[in-house]
Every structure is written in structure tokens, then in C-alpha cells.
A and B are shown apart, each in its own frame.
Chain A
Amino acid sequence: MKRVIGVSAILVLASQAMAWPEKSPDSAKQTTVSLQSAAALARAVDKAVAAKCQESGIALSPQTTDAEFLRRVHLDLVGHIPTLERTRSFLASTEPDKRAKLVDELLASSDYGQHMADIWQALLLSKNSVARRLDTEVFVDWLAESFNKNQSWDNLVREIITAKGAQDKNPATTFWLSQVSVDNMTDTVCKVFLGVQLQCAQCHNHPFTGWKQDEYWGLAAFFLNVKAAPPGNKQTTSPVVSEGKFVRKKNNALPESAKVLPPKYFGGPVAKVGSSSEIRPVLADWLCADTNPYLARSMVNRLWAQMFSRGLVHPIDNIHDGNPASHPELLEDLTRRFKDGKYDVKAFLRGLCLSETYQRSSKPVEGNKDAVVDSYARMPMKVLTPEQLYDSLLLVLGSPERGAKARKADTTPVKGAKGPRAQFVAFFSGEEGADATEYQVGIPQALQLMNATRTNAPGIAVKLTGGATDPAKALESLYLATLNRKPTSSELAMARDHSKKASNARQAASDVLWALINSSEFTTNH
């Protein structure tokens, strides 16, 4: 179970997390600046969203209840529902700024880095037959640590782009080791860091955007000298990434459509590179420069999507002139703020969480029932990712342990996925790049959730109720532990009706818990 952190500890942790310049002479002052900028960011979001809704005559849904906010912000920032204890304490608290404090508590929790690592390892590592042999744990741990210490996004990207050496010494190299070919490297860099889908231009000029094939192979030229030795079947030494001229053999040949061109910045001029020097650092300089239009915008769009289910530009990695943002000025404004804040990811997320737009209920009201999803007149309802579902189920059902430990718990080599968490995630994963609001689970997964031994374990429900003899109290515990809210009076009545059919109180509690964890309300982030 998650450790409940005392309020004073939270404040200390939160202020550490908020100090964005690494060697600040006056971190208290910086904290104030960060808090102010978060509030300003929230206001900018609310203004832009409200203005557009007003223009289109769309009504805004009211603000969330405390219970709705608690569950949502947990899932979005730390990747699991709140514990029963945290649910009780948050709902009972009368502090006026308890929502802002909760945001800071979550951003300071180590589960934040774990959740960010879950999201980013899926984006950064290519899924292919070579990558399946890679040890990706070191990379996930490294990502989690980087996000937890709130390394600025441009620095993190630079470390990845320029990564070299042995994987066990420099986990960032895993990014390159998972990309099996130059076109694979080019596609991923474009998609993840630039926010553009350039793959079409690998073989022909892009049909919609005017991007030419030369644009693709000009960017690909930065990666021609990257040598990433994939791990062999029985290899014992750590695989290595290096950069330098090497002979291409059949197994790493360029695709037929390849054009050999000098390195050229995407949408920009040909790069000036020395003949002997490594060229990825040159690309990193361009990517992380203040004048670069892509990196910050792409990250802003992704962070927005993490919280709001979709990017301001949608699809998230398809930013181009023909596909405008839902709120173009807001995207520009947020990008500028993200750059001005030195690419501070936590500060940016804090700003989004504090906005009324983020804290709006997902329940439709009169006047926004048919509103388009990107009006943000109400919060889009997201489906839990496999990782969120697994970690949340574990919180309710108990051990095996959550997070990093769970991934390492089982070292038996199972095809593709290592450990129970990875197995679950692989089994529940939907299509790549699917909409976060789309339900992706099929019949075999529903069968597992309904009928597996773990979801039927008879003792758990009784344990969660803490031995309460009052049926209403017991029921309240089950609702608080799973849906993180109290049951309504009609839900109490429904459960009472059901328990009349059950043979005893223990069985009735198990039945209710079973129904709760199999419900759409549990499965979604609303």
C-alpha cells in the first residue's frame, strides 16, 4: 500500500520539486515564481477554452466534486487510483487549498516518475523483434528517475539523442538499441520529439503536407552513422551504441527508397557538420535551441493529451499546417510558457491541474451534450490504460507488489513480457496510438477480469470493510476503495436488495466488490 505522507513532508517535497533552475540561489523565491506561473498558465487555459465555448454557444459543465478530482488527478499524475486511506482523508479535509496541495503531493511522489516512465517508454522504444530481446528495465528506471528529479525536458531529450556507450553504463542508449534501422530511428524521432508523422515521405512525397521525400532522408542522414549493436541471443556483455562510419551489410541495409543526402534540419537548412565529428550532438543543438519550433510544442501537446485525452492538435503526433490545433493561440501561448519556464514538466502539469478546465466534470449538462470533444466544455472520459488498471486493481486486491518491484518479481523468461505486470499489460494492450477515450478491451480480457482467481478471492472484500458490521459502513468502504466516492442512497438500496439473495454477509460483500471492479466506472477515468 502507498505510504501516506504527512502534510509537512509534502510541503518540503513539493517545494523541492518546484525549484526549477537546478542551482538556484534562492529556491523559495523560485517556488513563488513557479506557483505564480502555474496559476497564470491555468488562467490562460481557462480563458481560451471558455472563449471558444462561448463563441460556439456551448455550455460549460460544472467543476468536479472532490471525489471526482481526487480519482482523476491520481490516475493522470501517478497512474493509479487513490488508496482507501487517502480517499478518506482527502474527502474529510476542510482545507480550502487541498486540491493544490494534492497536486503537489502527487508530483512529489515517486509514483509520478513511474507513471511518466510507463508513458514514455512506450513512445520511445520501438516494438520489434530485436527490441524484445533488450533489457528495457534499466531504461524505464532511468526515465522514472529523470522525471522524478524533474530534469528539464530539453536536457532529457539531449541525453537521449546523443546517447552512446554501453547500455549498462548509459541507459539512454536503449532508445537507439530498440530502433532497428535508420528509417525506424527517423520515424521515432519525428513522431516523439517533433510531433510530426513523416513516415509517408520515406517512400514518396507526403500526400497532405507538402513534405518532400528529401526532407525525410535529409533528417535520416543524422542517423546514418549510428551503430547500435542489438543484443545477441546468448550475449552476456551489455550492448553498445556508437557513432562513426561503418560498412552497411545486408542485415542493416537501407530500404530501397533510401536517398543519400547531406544532413538537413527538418523544415530548415542543411546542417554544418565537420567530417570527423559526431553529428547527433549537432541535431540535439538544433532540436533544443530556443528558436526550434517543434520540441516544446510537441511536448506541450503531449502533456495536454496526458491530462485531457487528446492533444490540442489531434492526432497527437500529426502536427502540420493542414491539421490545425483546436485552440491555436493557446497552443502557441503554452509553448512559449513552457520554454520560458525552462522546459519544466512538473510546473507545466501543475498549471494544467489547477485550471478550471481540468477540474471540470465529465458529466454532460444541458447545452453541451452534443458538444465536440475538443471544446473541453466537459472533461473527456478516458479509459484506464493497462498499467493504470493493473496498478489500481493491485491497490484494491493487494499484493503482489506494485510498480518497479512487481516488474522484477518474476524473472522467469516468458515470451515477450517479463513479470506479472508486463504480462497483464501485454494482454490488455490495445492498438498502438489508439484514442485514450476508446475502449480497447476484448472478450478474453473481460473473461480474465470476471473469472480469474484473483478477482474472485473471497477474503478481500471483508478485509477492505475492516470488519464493519454495519452493512452501510461496509458498503461505503468498498465504494471508497474502488470508485473513491461514497455510495448514493439508491446504490445502498440496490446492494441491500442484492444481499438478501446472498447466503451471508461475506458473500454479499464479495459480490459487490466483484461488480465494482468489473464496472465501467472503475475501468474509466471520468
Chain B
Amino acid sequence: MSDIISHAMSAGLNRRDAMKLATSGVAASSLSGWLPVLANAETRLTSKAKACIVLWMDGGPSHKDTFDLKPDSEGAGEFKPISTSATGVAISEHLPKLAKQMHRIALLRGMSTLEGAHPRAKYMLHTGYREGQGGIQYPALGSIVSSEVGRPEFPIPSFVSIGNRSYTSAYLGPRHQPLVVADPSLGVANLKSSLEGNQFDARVSLLENMEAGFRREYPIGAGLDHQVNYQRAVTMMKSREAAAFDLSKEPDNMHELYGSSKFGKGCLLARRLVETGVKFVEVNLGGWDTHLDNFERVKKLSGTIDQPASALLDDLAARGMLDSTLVIWMGDFGRTPKINTRGEKPGRDHFPRAWTSWMAGGGVKGGRVIGRTDKQGGTVEDRPIAVIDFMATVCTLMGIDPTKQIQTPIGRPIRLVDKGHKLIEVC
């Protein structure tokens, strides 16, 4: 490899990143006057988490039928609460294995957000900003994590999304885009060359010779960035770390533990990736938009998550990784406390005002409930959690300053998390 590329790679930066770093440094000092940094509330959190796994429940899971049951309320539904490994905490009878994990989990029953339509809610829960706010695009949380704590020399992307497209890195640039794995059983698209023998290596060496010639004539940024990117891609193809995408390398007992569902395989892949050094993994499970036939579907979906999510927590704990891996379970929003009877079978509709998510590991103290909804599960009575509180908490647990300002390409200073947050007391 040529000196100039290896130098850029060993420095862990491409030219673009270096330039960004320089401009943001300048900006931070010159702008400190006009956007006062709000002093944060007293909540003190640890910053132990080195990686984060988000179990994204696409469509918005019904809080009243999963983690915030209201047995005596109007629209209580059919499910019975069961006791858990955390004293005084009850969850749905269809989550028996997660019930045994509750000592590791902090339930956040006071989620209270503003967006009630799927795309806008997903955007907000992924980026922390309202879609279209201030006329720019915002980066996904995974991209923020990749940009702030990802190791630049790491041979695979620091942000991987399994089963869905997730959201983009926006002004943080292409280096922090999610690597999307559509099917965990298949791994990364085009990771292997179809060529036989050493033909691929021969081609790469021909390409490198061509590039050296071009670089002599045009010693200009974009060409160098292109070459660095190809070098990274080839490095990834040949890296030990890329084997993390290959689930066949897991022993049978692990496949049994996580189960054979796509979501289960996604959780297993997430663990492999985090073990290898990936910083942020999102595992998607769709189907939670239960306007119709809520109870049958939530029962089935509960069955889909119960085993793999429990397996993930057990497995991380057994490997001594739980304390440094933040696991989050969340979706678009909750669902109406009342039951709709529009269809043949009862359903529940979108409900952002009060819902539940949970966190475990990564320094989060489990076995407790933060926030409380009223008798109906329709209003947050204690400790409402806004999206910015949630985002700032995740950032802080991962050692990222949520108040940090980033300079966008057009020179606007944007905070990683919008101002006004209050950290959630999860530690």
C-alpha cells in the first residue's frame, strides 16, 4: 500500500474528517457566546457503555399489553400480569422469560412523545429531532455514536442496522452511514467476491497500480478519499472482524438459545458484532402496528421477542459484556389505552402520549420502574420522558456529551441533542 494512504489510514482519518475536526474546533470557540450551554440537572450517570443494541419494535408496541398492564382499567385487555424477578414489578403473562430478566431491566413507563404518525415518530425516535425542524436532516443516534466513539481504524462500520434501512448519518457524512444487513442469515451484501483463486487479488493490485498513476497526475482530495475507501472495503473483506457477519460460525447451542426466528438471528448477530467491536446495532422487528386483532398479534409478537431478548441479556452477562453493552427495547410510540372495535377483532391505535421502553446493561441499574402512568395507562403522572431526555441519557451512558455542537456543511452549529433535556436517573 502506498505511503500516503497508509498514513491516512493509520492516523484513522480521511482528509474530510480531519477538515471537519478543524472547523468544528474553530466553531466551538467562536460560537460559545450566543448559544448558552444549559447546566444540566443533578442526575449523575455513569459512562460505562461501550456499545449499544437497540431492539426496534416497528409499528409501536402496545404498552398496556406488554410492560405496563392495567388490569382493572377500561380497555384493560385480555392479558394477565405476572410477577417478575424484580420485586413489585409485573409484566405481561406472554413475556415469561423476560419476567425473569427484570432484575437487569429498568422499565421506562413515562415515555411521552409528540409524534403520532409512523414516519415522523420513527424519525424523531431515531434522531431526537422533529422531521424538518430547522430545514435540515439530522443524523440517527447510531451515526452519532459511530462518529463520537467509533474507532476510525476499525475495519467494519461502527453502525449496523439489521432487518431495516434505519436512518442516515446526515451531516456526519458517509463514513457513519449504517451498514444495512437485510437478512441476518445472509450477512453483508457483496462482502465476498465471486471470483475464483487469486483473480480478485490480482485485480486489486492492478487497480492499485492504476491509482498510483492517477494520484501522480491529480494529487487531489477526492481521488485519495476514493482510494482510502476502497482500501477500507478490501480490508473489511479480508478482515477477521468481517467473520462476525457469518452466523454459521456460532455453535449449535447458541442458535438454540436465540431461536430460529429472523429476530432471534438478528439478536445473535448483534451480539457477535458487539463482541467484535461494533458500537451500535439496531435489530428490527416489524408487525407491532396492531390497529386490528391487537391481542392475538401482540401475544404472538411477545412470543417472538421473549426468548431472543432474554437470551441476549443472559449471553451478554455470561460473557461479561452486559455492563459495557446498553440494550434498549423501544418502538415508534405506545397504543391507545382504549380498545377500538372497528374491525372484526379488537385493536389499539397510535398513542405517543404515554408509553414504555426499557434499558438494560451498560451501567443501567435494573429491577426497577422509572415513571408511572395513570390508571388507564393514558397519561404520565410521574417522571415524563421526552425524546431529548431519552437521547441525552443514551449519549451520556456511552460517554458522549449530548450538548456538543457539530458544524454542518453549511456552517450551522447543531447540537447532538436539542437543548432542554433532563437525564433519566437510570444508574
Contact = CB atoms under 8 A, between A and B. Distances in A.
Interface of A: 126-129, 132, 180-181, 183-184, 187, 191, 197, 199-200, 202-203, 207, 315, 317-318, 362-364, 369, 381-383, 415-416, 430-435, 437-444, 446-448, 450-453, 456, 488, 490-491, 494-495, 498, 501-502, 507, 511-512, 514-516, 518-521, 523-524, 526
B221 interface: yes
B210 interface: yes
Give chain B's interface secondary structure class. Answer: helix
B210 A443 contact: no
A433 B411 CA distance: 11
Contact of B214 (A129, A191, A437, A519): A519
A181 B223 contact: no
Interface stretch (B96-104, B198-206, B343-351, B372-380): B198-206
A430 B226 CA distance: 14
Contacts of B38: none
B202 A498 contact: yes
Contacts of A363: 217-218
B255 interface: no
B232 interface: yes
Contact of B233 (A450, A453, A516): A450
A187 B135 contact: yes
Nearest to B176: A442
Given A448-B189, A456-B194, A439 B409 contact: no
B191 A451 contact: yes
B220 A439 contact: no
B174 A441 contact: yes
A431 B409 contact: yes
B222 A381 contact: yes
B22 interface: no
B135 A199 contact: yes
Contacts, number: 190
27 contacts: A128-B131, A129-B119, A183-B132, A197-B412, A381-B220, A431-B137, A431-B170, A431-B171, A431-B409, A433-B410, A435-B409, A439-B16, A441-B229, A442-B157, A443-B157, A443-B229, A443-B236, A444-B190, A446-B232, A450-B230, A450-B233, A453-B194, A494-B210, A501-B202, A507-B199, A511-B202, A519-B214
Residue among B16, B177, B412 with the highest chain A CB neighbour number at 10 A: B177
Contacts of B237: 447
Contacts of B223: 381, 520-521, 524
A451 B179 contact: no
B165 interface: yes
Given A199-B135, A315-B410, A381-B220, A439 B225 contact: yes
Contacts of A438: 16, 221-222, 225
Nearest to B164: A415
Give 10 nearest A-B pairs by CB, closest first: A129-B119, A199-B135, A439-B225, A446-B233, A187-B135, A520-B223, A451-B190, A520-B226, A447-B190, A515-B207
A223 to B, nearest CB: 14
Contacts of A199: 134-136
Contact of A203 (B120, B123, B134): B134
Nearest to B178: A444
Residue among A200, A440, A442, A501 with the highest chain B CB neighbour number at 10 A: A442
B173 interface: yes
B190 A442 contact: no
A523 B226 contact: yes
Nearest to A517: B207
B320 interface: no
Interface residues of B, number: 68
Residue among A431, A448, A453, A502 with the highest chain B CB neighbour number at 10 A: A431
Contacts of B218: 362-364, 381, 520, 524, 526
A62 to B, nearest CB: 13
A431 B174 contact: yes
Contacts of A317: 410
A383 to B, nearest CB: 5
Nearest to A456: B194
Residue among A127, A362, A433, A443 with the highest chain B CB neighbour number at 10 A: A443
Nearest to A380: B220
Given A432-B137, A439-B16, A442-B175, A515 B206 contact: yes
A439 B226 contact: yes
Contacts of A381: 218, 220, 222-223
Contact of B410 (A197, A501, A514): A197
Contacts of A518: 207, 230
Contacts of B171: 431
B195 A456 contact: yes
A437 B409 CA distance: 13
A91 B223 CA distance: 25
A515 B192 contact: no
Contacts of B409: 315, 431, 433-435
Nearest to B221: A437
A233 B230 CA distance: 41
A200 B135 CA distance: 9
Contacts of B193: 450-451, 456
Contact of A443 (B179, B213, B214, B224): B179
Nearest to B179: A444
A383 B222 contact: yes
Nearest to A382: B222
Contacts of B194: 451, 453, 456
